[in-house]
Structure 1
Amino acid sequence: MGTVKDTIHTTELDTAYLRGRQLLEKRKYAQALYVLHDYRDRNTAIALLSLGQDREALRILEALPATATSEYLRAIACSRLGRKAEGRRHFLEACRRDERMEYRAALDPEIDELLKN
């Protein structure tokens, strides 16, 4: 059973994480990254991608379990890094996991570029 101190610390972390997500939603990417950096999750990767830190975002995404969303984000990072064939594979895997991802191809220039070649 956790102590009161553990509960307070967990609550502070949850509050910080929520604040980081809110900053991300408001497109305040640098501030969001400052808060989310140590979590090293999908939201951290989104902040990094939004700031053009694609290589670091890909490192984080590669450590996460494969889901439709993580595969889609990997595709974007790979596209930006010039790794077109790898990016295409990630995008196709995202679509295999969730067919709703297919509509994203026309909306995102990075994905559209992957599918041209």
Structure 2
Amino acid sequence: MAGILVDLISHDVRRGAFRDLANIKASSALPVGVTTKEVARVTRHSSGSYLKGTTDKYVGDVEQDTYTTRAEQMFLSRKAPAIRNKYKKRRLTAGEIATYYAENNIDPASKNRRQRAGEAIHRERKMD
């Protein structure tokens, strides 16, 4: 239903979430609350303290609901396949077929030609 070509595993969902989070536009109005190297530098924590998680203990939990932001921004990868509406075959009117007969010099008495004319009209519509 979703157009997925291979079986999904939990890490596929995780990778997609991380890709979305990496592409979220920064919101200056709401602080995220994530420990960064800049935070460690400002607080004069060493690289070792930052890597051990000491700075994380000072900063605390993340303040922003990043998954809401992710859903609001709807990041679309340039590698994602294009999605189109499915073509729905509409019934042809007798007038449409008669016009096609007249334009293409077809004998209206032949049932086989009537079917072929209908198929040709549908092909033309599908291309538009």
Q: TM-score category by the smaller chain?
A: under 0.3
Q: What TM-score, normalized by structure 2, do the two folds share?
A: 0.23
Q: Find the structure with the greater CA-based Rg.
A: 2
More helix by share: 1
